Structure 1
Amino acid sequence: MSKIEELIENYKRDHQNPVNKALHMVGIPMIVTSLPLIFFVPPLGIALFVLGWILQFIGHAFEGKPPSFFRDPTFLLIGPTWYAKRIFAKLTGRKFDEPAPSPAEPTMTTQNVAHA
């Protein structure tokens, strides 16, 4: 298991409560969206940033655990990664915990490209 996969697994363990997960699914994109908006539309960017964090902390009150980044600031980047993986799983019809499919055997086309 890679370091990032290990961090995501730890993050998942800290986010089991359905209310917390739902609030994170709203709060994380608000925070990420707010970052560029702070420079272009400061009032909107700041409002999204603050509201996103409020949602995160309310979620952790339901979870009964402090945010993961209190333990390790790396989790500030893992949260958006967790969110992206959940969305990708929903879009592809896979379960979130299901491993990615292994690459298929090389086809004639990919073999020709590799040797070109």
Structure 2
Amino acid sequence: MRQIEFLLNEYGESHKNKTNILIHAIAVPAIYFVTLALVWSIPTPAFLDYFAVTWAHVLVIPTLYYYFRLSGPIGAAMTLLSVLSLYGIVLLELLDISVLQFSVALFVVMWILQFIGHNIEGKKPSFLKDFQFLLVGPAWWWVHWLKRLNINY
């Protein structure tokens, strides 16, 4: 069994309840977005500012490397989510919305939803067993879409 299949199966064990799945379908990509936004909010040194690069841009590189090592299609899908997230952050700035305040608020709300989902499910979140599952969540979310598009992951 490939590593991605093992991780998705393991993650899926605590994500079988339809309500929990629906909550995760909303919260998982939102948490990915706000995590990048929170990292974006960390001040950068002048040399990064010169290139208009934030810590979020830097973080995306090893994150996408991880996803591409698991699966090419999931890596490509996570690249799309990353690009959309970074554009969303830029949009917040253009709308003069505090990226930090918006992200903290949404982060808290989405994690509360996730824990409500796991309470309904009756199982602990997977990341309590292994922090790697914080990265597996978005891959698991994408697999549902890739299957609908008949794309093997």
Shorter chain as denominator, the TM-score bin is: 0.7 to 0.9
Q: 1:73 and 2:125 equivalent?
A: no
> Counterpart in 1 of 2:10?
10
The number of residue pairs the alignment matches comes to: 95
**Structure 2 portions without partners, runs of 5+:** 42-88, 90-98
Contact 2:146 2:152 in 1 (8 A): no
* Alpha-carbon separation, structure 2, partners of 1:9 and 1:65: 15
**Structure 1 portions without partners, runs of 5+:** 102-116
- Deviation at 1:48? 1.6
- Higher relative CO (Cα under 8 Å, sequence separation at least 6) belongs to 2
SS in structure 1 of the partner of residue 114 of structure 2? helix
User: Which structure: greater helix fraction?
Assistant: 2
* Alpha-carbon separation, structure 2, partners of 1:3 and 1:17: 24
User: RMSD of the alignment, in Å?
Assistant: 1.8
State the Cα deviation string for residues 68-95 of structure 1 (Å, max 9, x = none): 11111111111111011112223x1x4x
* Alpha-carbon separation, structure 2, partners of 1:100 and 1:36: 27
* Alpha-carbon separation, structure 1, partners of 2:122 and 2:104: 27
SS in structure 2 of the partner of residue 53 of structure 1? helix
- Deviation at 1:37? 2.1
- Deviation at 1:2? 1.1
- Deviation at 1:10? 1.1
> Counterpart in 2 of 1:111?
none
* Alpha-carbon separation, structure 2, partners of 1:87 and 1:55: 21
- Deviation at 1:3? 1.6
Q: 1:100 and 2:148 equivalent?
A: no
- What percentage of residue pairs aligned between the two structures are identical? 39
Structure 1 residues 1-116: aligned runs within 5 Å: 1-38=1-38, 39=41, 41-90=99-148, 92=149, 94=150, 100=152
Letter in 1 for 2:25: M
Give TM-score, length-normalised by structure 2.
Answer: 0.57
- Deviation at 1:47? 1.3
* Alpha-carbon separation, structure 2, partners of 1:89 and 1:52: 25
